């Protein structure tokens, strides 16, 4: 009888997966992962790989419950463009990326790029603290793991300040990064009442960054930021869900990436 009851629940909720420490739902082309806050437990870790690798392969190697893509990277030399911290240590600095430091235009604007937002997992006394802040903000505790991305969506979004767009003297956009003005798949991480929320906006409902911001406002998030999106958007849940962007045509394994959020 109990098994029949569980089967009925599954049929009622479809792809929704419920557990004591996370919830995954799917609606209108968007996966919404919720991780209720537990001050004495953290299951998140951000990792950066030596070479580019698919989300699916990292997911299997880490034996994770779910895995998503995070920071920006350079596909030409396979080095990071985002700061990633793992187990309290800086895994690799973007300043070790010669394609960045040898580019005068990038380095002229490095104060903007380097200060893009990041999701932080910190230890404060005997409990865990999560936050979304710009990279140069001081720590609210001991930094354990973090991943940088951008742009910041909530509370305030400033695409020029974070060098995602550049405008000329007439106010026309002459440079755009991360396809922020175009409809594309997106990976979003947010906080609401200390709970963690992750949105995987798939190709079935692509959004501009402004549309993604409006969705975050509608959901009532306190803070929200983007990770690398477009063809980098990836999500694997156990062996049940595998999401990649169709930007990589003819290959459902997805794009090879550099950094990941691992939930165990």
Contact 55, 258 (CB under 8 A): no
- DSSP 8-state secondary structure symbol assigned to residue 81: S
Q: What is the pLDDT of residues 150-198, one digit of tens each?
A: 999 999 999 999 999 999 999 999 999 999 999 999 999 999 999 999 9
Contact 11, 3 (CB under 8 A): no
Least confident of 19-28, 102-111, 215-224: 19-28
Instruction: Provide the percentage of residues in the chain whose pLDDT is more than 70.
Output: 90
Write out the H or E segment, with its range, that includes residue 18.
strand 17-18
Q: With bands split at pLDDT 50, 70 and 90, how would you rate the model's confidence at 36? A: very high
Contact 185, 176 (CB under 8 A): no
Q: What is the pLDDT of residues 247-260, one digit of tens each?
A: 555 456 789 999 99
Dihedrals φ, ψ of 90, to 5°? -70, 115
Contact 235, 31 (CB under 8 A): yes
Mean pLDDT of the chain: 92
Q: What is the pLDDT of residues 60-106, one digit of tens each?
A: 999 999 999 999 999 999 999 999 999 999 998 999 999 999 999 99
Q: Which of 24, 42, 44 is nearest to 33 (CA)?
A: 24
Res 245: pLDDT:
87
Is the pLDDT assigned to residue 35 strictly greater than 70?
yes
How distant, in Å, are the alpha carbons of 48, 98, 118, 119, 120 from that of 137? 22, 25, 10, 12, 11
Q: With helix as H, strand as E and coil as C, how does 151-173 read?
A: CEEECCCCCCCCCCEEECCCCCE
- DSSP 8-state secondary structure symbol assigned to residue 206: -
The single residue listed with the structure tokens 């695409």 is 159
Cα within 13 Å of Cα(33), Cβ side: 23
Q: With bands split at pLDDT 50, 70 and 90, how would you rate the model's confidence at 225? A: very high
Is the pLDDT assigned to residue 12 strictly greater than 50?
no
The single residue listed with the structure tokens 């799917």 is 26
Q: With bands split at pLDDT 50, 70 and 90, how would you rate the model's confidence at 42? A: very high
Q: Is 246 exposed, middle or buried (0-12, 13-18, 19+ CB in 10 A)?
A: middle
Dihedrals φ, ψ of 104, to 5°? -60, -35
Q: With bands split at pLDDT 50, 70 and 90, how would you rate the model's confidence at 1? A: low
Res 251: pLDDT:
57
The single residue listed with the structure tokens 């409006």 is 214
Q: What is the pLDDT of residues 112-125, one digit of tens each?
A: 999 999 999 999 99
Res 18: pLDDT:
45
Q: With bands split at pLDDT 50, 70 and 90, how would you rate the model's confidence at 7? A: very low
Q: Is 198 exposed, middle or buried (0-12, 13-18, 19+ CB in 10 A)?
A: buried
Res 52: pLDDT:
97
How distant, in Å, are the alpha carbons of 37, 160, 164 from that of 172? 42, 12, 14
Is the pLDDT assigned to residue 135 strictly greater than 50?
yes
Average pLDDT, stretch 104-111? 97
Res 3: pLDDT:
55
Res 11: pLDDT:
44
């Amino acid at each position: 009888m109990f098994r029949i009851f569980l089967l009925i629940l599954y049929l009622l909720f479809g792809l929704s997966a419920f557990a004591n420490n996370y919830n995954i739902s799917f609606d209108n082309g968007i996966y919404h992962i919720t991780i209720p806050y537990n001050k004495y437990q953290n299951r998140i870790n951000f990792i950066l790989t030596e070479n580019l690798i698919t989300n699916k392969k990292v997911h299997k190697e880490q034996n994770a419950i779910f895995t998503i893509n995070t920071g920006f990277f350079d596909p030409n030399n396979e080095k990071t463009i985002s700061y990633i911290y793992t187990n309290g240590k800086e895994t690799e600095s973007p300043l070790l990326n010669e394609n960045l430091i040898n580019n005068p235009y990038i380095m002229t604007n490095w104060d903007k790029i380097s200060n893009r937002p990041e999701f932080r997992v910190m230890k404060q006394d005997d409990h865990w603290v999560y936050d979304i802040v710009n990279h140069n903000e001081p720590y609210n505790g001991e930094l354990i793991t973090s991943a940088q991305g951008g742009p910041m969506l909530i509370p305030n979004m400033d695409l020029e300040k974070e060098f995602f767009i550049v405008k000329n003297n007439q106010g026309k956009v002459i440079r755009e990064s991360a396809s922020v003005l175009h409809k594309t798949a997106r990976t979003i991480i947010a906080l609401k009442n200390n709970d963690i929320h992750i949105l995987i906006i798939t190709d079935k409902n692509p959004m501009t960054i402004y549309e993604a911001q409006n969705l975050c406002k509608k959901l009532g998030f306190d803070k929200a930021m983007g990770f690398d999106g477009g063809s980098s958007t990836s999500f694997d849940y156990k062996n049940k869900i595998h999401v990649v962007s169709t930007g990589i045509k003819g290959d459902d394994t997805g794009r090879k990436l550099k950094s990941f959020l691992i939930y165990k």
